[in-house]
Structure 1
Amino acid sequence: MKKVIFLALISTSVFSQDLKTKFNWHNLDLEADGVRGMSTEKAYQELLKNRKSTTVIVGVIDSGIDINHEDLKRVIWTNTKEIAGNGIDDDKNGFIDDVYGWDFIGGANGKDVDQEQLESVRIYKNLKSKFGTNPKKRLIKRNKEDYALLQKLKKEIEEEKKEAQQYLPLYNNMLEKISKAEEVLAEHLGKKDFSKDEVADIKTESVARNIREAKAIYLNLIAMGATRADIQDGVNHFKDQLEYNLNENFDARAIIGDNPAKLEYGTYGNNEVTGPDAMHGTHVAGIIGADRTNNKGVLGVADNVQIMTIRCVPNGDERDKDVANAIKYAVDNGAQVINMSFGKPYSPDKKWVDDAMQYAQDKGVLLVSAAGNDNLNVDEKVHFPTRLLQNGKEIANWIVVGAQNFEEGESLPAEFSNYGKKNVDVFAPGVAIYSSVPGSKYEEKQGTSMASPAVAGVAALLKSYFPSLTATQLKQIILESAVSLAGTEVRLPGEKIDVDFAELCKTAGVVNVYNAVKMAIEITEKQ
């Protein structure tokens, strides 16, 4: 599931003039700019200025991408071996007219899946069918683990439904208040788009009561880090949970018309890669490689990439089948780095995903994934996909990324980020990341979904300027060059206790492009 944090106390999606911190902060340098970004700009200015680069293909497995976005259209991967619209698999890769990538959650008629059930609901539905309403003791005894899982899932789903039913009216009420407040303020200020400062400057002693109330409501929400867009996200989230994600009778797969129990690589989906909701994927793509040459919008981490669009992540939980096929598609069509900003707590067809991960490793492709946004220790509670295979082996060419805040001190790790001394490798900027969204627009969003593409962008940058580096070396450089924060006391995500940052990830560090480029220079000069 693609999960960007939206709850009012910890989310941002603000007007461009009201950014929470410095523009492009995730690429800035602590010493030069006063904010702990990845020192990307410093690396370009001091280490890469006169070096040549080669184009690197990055596979973005996500919700879809606005391929016509002003800041992305130049860097979108195009399959030059395919003739658009002729209905023929010209390059014989198994996919017809896959000019910009492939949509594994689309139907042959051009329709696309938007909403999906959670994996927990799909498993629960299957187990309910297996046991029936009054299962015999013999059946339960023979299937103890499955029956225990059935009970566990029933409880989880009921709790999530209860939460959604509780929060939906609350968010609806907040949405109504902020919408009315913004209407009043827009009329008073004479413009639709206004800044926090403009609202704060309204002289309350000389305006009507409704304007005073609107100002108070607006500034109060801004102080909590929320806007109307955030609250609308909350309304949509809880509404979608009740109508689709937690609804066991909802069937999104009918649109695709495949057999979910079979892998069927190359026999389902369509070539419509934007989809009905490309917000998440477009934001991710911009972090990796938004055009650095067009004087528009934002600056991608990597300056010479092609973004391959692979759609398999709905509003709900992705299916293992689609993830496995998406990875294979990316590898088969030339991706050297794959970003995976999604995840879920259950993986019933993990073997398919394992095989795809192994395939990527065998082909020398680096995998980068988000650690997850549930402030959990993933050494104790698994967040899928995971590099630990069912056979006990691990995929080596894989980096798992936690989210770092722009604030120093105890708030450095994002309060929503998953962590794990064994299973999270490194942290990267993932709070208030300003990037592209559909319609040639830009917004701040946050989540480990934003931290993962930051690292995928670093990997692509290194591969671009130092093409001899292998996937294994890319991972080694990124992790070994991270700025160590061992010994720094920080707030444990989701808790009220402080821990050593070294307890949160394997490297005890945060990604740094400048250090990584220096190390890459040293390694390649010795080759």
Structure 2
Amino acid sequence: MRPSFQLMYGVLVLLCMTSTASASIQAGHQNLRFVQDEIIVKYTSGTSRNEINSINQLHQTSVLSENRKGRFMKLKVHGQGRSIDKLVQQYRRDRRVEYAEPNYIVHAAMFPNDPYFHESWGLFNNGQTGGTTEADIFAPESWDVRSDASAVIVAVIDSGVDYTHPDLAPNMWTNDGEIAGNGIDDDNNGFVDDIRGWDFANGDNDPYDDHSHGTHVAGIIAAAGNNGTGSAGVCWSASIMPLKFLDATGNGTVTDAIEAIQYAVQKGAQLSNNSWGSEGFSQALKEAIGAADHLVIAAAGNSSSFTDITPFYPAAYDLPNIISTAATDHNDNLAAFSNYGPSTVHLGAPGVDILSTTPNESYEHMSGTSMAAPHVTGVAALLMAEFPASTIITVKDRILNAVSPAIGLRGRVATGGRLNGYDALLGKVSLEQPELTTIFYDDFEQENDPWTVQGETALWHLSGTRYSSISTSWHYGIDNTLNYDTGAANEGYLISPPIDLTTVTFSTLLFNHYLETEDDPNFDKAFVAISTDDGASFTEIFTSRSTDNIMAQETLDIAAYDGEIIRLRFSFDTVDKMYNDFEGWYIDDVSVIGQPAAPLPSLPPTADAGTGDTLSDADGDSFELYTLDGSASMDPEGFPLSYLWTEDQRVLGTAEVFTGSFSIGEHSITLTVTDNEGMSATDEVTVTVVANQPPVVDGGNDRSIDDEDGDGAETVLLNGSASSDPDGQIISYLWQDGETILGTAATLAVPLSIGEHVITLTVEDNGGATGADTFIVTVNDASIAPDARMHIADMDLLLMKRGSSYLGKSLVTVTDGNGMPLKGVSVSGRWELNASLLMVVTKGTDKNGVAVLESRKISVNSGDTLAFAVENLTLDGMTYIPADNAESSDSTHIP
């Protein structure tokens, strides 16, 4: 921070740097200079020499000198390109370090003794006008480097200059090639007695200012500094060439302006100040400026216009030797009246309430980009004096590279910053600013405005009452009463069309507005919000209550929404029905600017043909329909895709989703997708069609029932509903008892006589395939007592190895209906190997009811299956009831 003006006026003062100054390297205006390879460190009392050496060795420093009174060391920093600020922070984190700081370079600050200098906030701003400290061009720091530009001829192409003004007379140019008053064109330049320049408006040799504009501009550039009179210019001395082409009303012609520029170049002016212009494009003026080896500093204009859309010339000519200048206020904001445009305006400079010279030894405050441009002209003159071998392009680059970034200028001027004379003289390059372009702009002048209004009581409408450009703005209010009093609470939203920021960085929202509401934070709310979900929800980013009776400009950093598609919403809510007699809210010239992301290399699409499937020919016609779906295919850049489905180079279809008929067999299908840049990708999918599969039939299990009522028959429920078809549906059922048809329903209740019945269920599916299931139903004579019934209660199969052969044993347990073992039962059965008959064997049961039935030795292979099945049980006086068996067969695999 600078000391106050009162402490610095008229004297040379050393800038004292404290330990807090290191932070200002990052947070301040970054003009602090220090020795690049030295730092100052003070260790805490009691830190040993060995510890100090160890710490310094760790940080790659060595002791250059020690100050014994202050107990600090000056250390040498070893290594190229090391960050002094970072090294200082590393030392400060050590508990043995009392303080560490850069070895700052200090200098005398040059302040003139001109009595009005303290009013020149644009040169030195310490808040004296209520503004922001250091929102200035750093003139005193610049004067430490250079204040004299007397060798530089600066043409002031304007309304003339009061060359007799005490603060300007010492710095006026005279034509040494001309003899005054002899009526002869001594220097043969086509102008007679042009001692002080020329008046192109009136065609004479007296460029005296009869308007005051040119004199004010000249004083900003080079009012004599440190002369105890009036104010000081950016240059304390220079050579001002007055060239008058604007008349007493402030108007002039293009042809006169061209002749003034040509005169300036011919008589050796290295640069000119041009605080004038119009919206009319002149090819002749552009060619004249382009042909001049001369730096043209131009005012951007005072119409609050977006000059990327509505250019103001000559500032907006796309020529390398022009610097276009917007005006800033004492808070580093863009002046409300100033034109702006990131493609057509280069930088900002102080231009509001600027004190400078006016005719007849007077001084006045004026505002305009006319006042901003001469600040730049003065710095350019100092640069040309300091670096006389520099080209005009080099001077321009030094000025634009050294601006102080200002949020109020971000996106409104190309550099995003305000003039900084000191940094320009040092050759310092500011932090690189993004190259911003206009992503979205609406001045609300088109017939079909894409904005929408929401809210049942909304008063938003297009209005010509107030505006910042052309003739129309959006107004929340009632035009004929100039208020928003409807007798009730009202609210409404003005919502933008989608704004695509998906490939944009450094996004910034800019808009002009006039706002007048009830001065109560609980009522009459006006705010701006952003949506990233197409208006489903909004996040508030800005609110305001008043613009102090001006059409103000707002700049909002919305970089947090980079990469999104957004909608803007301007919302107004009166909350209540009282005190609504205020003009409301006008919105105009809404723009979003940003830096388009570097174009990505073109990427190929991705094809996705789906997962494929295996289908059954359910209807048995040898074909099946299948839908191929490529909708999961995509292009990473969002390009539309074309689709091509092929099988063995045969085209099947060209739709994203395609249904085809496929024959029985395996089909390998290729999907090829192509984007609009001709890049392709493929994917394959397999579709298999299998022949119709027969149904799976389930008629039930073998069962035994008793004739409970002794009438010689029993009703049995036959249920085939558990049958199914794997690839279709069952369309018919057929129940048979032997050859006798019982019925054709899925379930059937039928009477069966005493005895064994072989029941068969046959079903048919919709593809014509059939299947059958056979089981036995035994109807028992209920007159057989339990102790006269016999059945197999248990069965075990054993496998025994005999050398290289095997022997099978089946242990069959037979009991009566009461569970008592039966001795002497003849058990007959059959051994099978791999389902082929091996032998038939019969054995009787012992007293435990167990019969052991053995196979002969057999030669087998690993994996063979050996099985035994009981065919019959016989014993006098006993009846074999198979339905009561626990099991009647068993098998085992050869290991």
Report the TM-score when normalising by structure 1. Answer: 0.56
Determine the structure 1 residue equivalent to 2:289.
357
Determine the structure 1 residue equivalent to 2:213.
280
Asked if 1:69 corresponds to 2:162, the answer is no
Determine the structure 2 residue equivalent to 1:345.
279
Asked if 1:81 corresponds to 2:183, the answer is no
The CA RMSD measured in Å over matched residues stands at 2.4
Asked if 1:102 corresponds to 2:34, the answer is no
Determine the structure 2 residue equivalent to 1:323.
257
Count of matched residue pairs:
312
Q: Residue 421 of structure 2: which of 485, 510, 513 is its match?
A: 513
**Structure 1 71/316 Cα, relative in aligned 2: closer, same or farther at 3 Å?**
closer
Q: Which amino acid aligns with 1:73?
A: A
Determine the structure 2 residue equivalent to 1:366.
295
Determine the structure 1 residue equivalent to 2:137.
38
Larger Rg, first or second structure (1 or 2): 2
Deviates more, 1:21-30 or 1:336-345: 21-30
Determine the structure 2 residue equivalent to 1:436.
357
**Structure 1 342/367 Cα, relative in aligned 2: closer, same or farther at 3 Å?**
same
Q: Residue 374 of structure 2: which of 453, 459, 470 is its match?
A: 453
Map Cα deviations across residues 292-333 of structure 1 (whole Å, 9 max, x no partner).
Answer: 142101111013310000001232542110111110001100
Asked if 1:398 corresponds to 2:322, the answer is yes
d(CA) in 2 for partners of 1:292 and 1:319?
Answer: 34
Contact 2:401 2:428 in 1 (8 A): no
Contact 2:290 2:321 in 1 (8 A): no
Q: Which amino acid aligns with 1:404?
A: T
Q: Residue 271 of structure 1: which of 205, 208, 224 is its match?
A: 205
Map Cα deviations across residues 123-152 of structure 1 (whole Å, 9 max, x no partner).
Answer: xxxxxxxxxxxxxxxxxxxxxxxxxxxxxx
Contact 2:298 2:315 in 1 (8 A): no
Offset of residue 346 of structure 1? 1.9
SS at match of 2:122: helix
SS at match of 1:382: coil
Give the share of equivalent positions with the same residue, in percent: 38
d(CA) in 2 for partners of 1:42 and 1:102?
Answer: 35
Q: Residue 291 of structure 1: which of 201, 207, 224 is its match?
A: 224
d(CA) in 1 for partners of 2:194 and 2:227?
Answer: 27
Contact 2:299 2:315 in 1 (8 A): no
d(CA) in 1 for partners of 2:322 and 2:286?
Answer: 12
**Structure 1 416/395 Cα, relative in aligned 2: closer, same or farther at 3 Å?**
same
Asked if 1:383 corresponds to 2:312, the answer is yes
Determine the structure 1 residue equivalent to 2:40.
none
Contact 2:324 2:344 in 1 (8 A): yes
d(CA) in 2 for partners of 1:318 and 1:105?
Answer: 7
Map Cα deviations across residues 176-224 of structure 1 (whole Å, 9 max, x no partner).
Answer: xxxxxxxxxxxxxxxxxxxxxxxxxxxxxxxxxxxxxxxxxxxxxxxxx
**Structure 1 519/318 Cα, relative in aligned 2: closer, same or farther at 3 Å?**
same
Offset of residue 345 of structure 1? 1.8
Contact 1:28 1:42 in 2 (8 A): no
Contact 2:124 2:140 in 1 (8 A): yes
**Structure 1 386/430 Cα, relative in aligned 2: closer, same or farther at 3 Å?**
closer
Larger proportion of helix: 1
Q: Which amino acid aligns with 1:78?
A: T
**Structure 1 515/30 Cα, relative in aligned 2: closer, same or farther at 3 Å?**
farther
Q: Which amino acid aligns with 1:289?
A: A
Map Cα deviations across residues 486-507 of structure 1 (whole Å, 9 max, x no partner).
Answer: xx2x4xxxxxxxxxx3211000
d(CA) in 2 for partners of 1:402 and 1:425?
Answer: 8
Offset of residue 31 of structure 1? 10
Q: Which amino acid aligns with 2:274?
A: M
Contact 1:369 1:452 in 2 (8 A): yes
Offset of residue 407 of structure 1? 2.5
Contact 1:303 1:461 in 2 (8 A): no
Offset of residue 430 of structure 1? 0.3
Contact 1:328 1:359 in 2 (8 A): no
SS at match of 2:193: coil
Q: Which amino acid aligns with 1:510?
A: R
Q: Which amino acid aligns with 1:452?
A: A
**Structure 1 436/85 Cα, relative in aligned 2: closer, same or farther at 3 Å?**
same
Q: Which amino acid aligns with 1:383?
A: F
d(CA) in 2 for partners of 1:387 and 1:356?
Answer: 14
Determine the structure 2 residue equivalent to 1:181.
none
The runs of at least 4 aligned residues of structure 1 exceeding 4 Å deviation read 29-33
SS at match of 1:70: coil
d(CA) in 1 for partners of 2:140 and 2:209?
Answer: 33
d(CA) in 1 for partners of 2:149 and 2:366?
Answer: 30
d(CA) in 1 for partners of 2:344 and 2:166?
Answer: 37
d(CA) in 2 for partners of 1:473 and 1:297?
Answer: 33
Asked if 1:425 corresponds to 2:346, the answer is yes
d(CA) in 2 for partners of 1:449 and 1:328?
Answer: 21
Higher relative contact order structure (alpha carbons within 8 Å, sequence separation ≥ 6): 1
d(CA) in 2 for partners of 1:449 and 1:358?
Answer: 22
Larger proportion of strand: 2
Map Cα deviations across residues 451-470 of structure 1 (whole Å, 9 max, x no partner).
Answer: 00110011001111221111
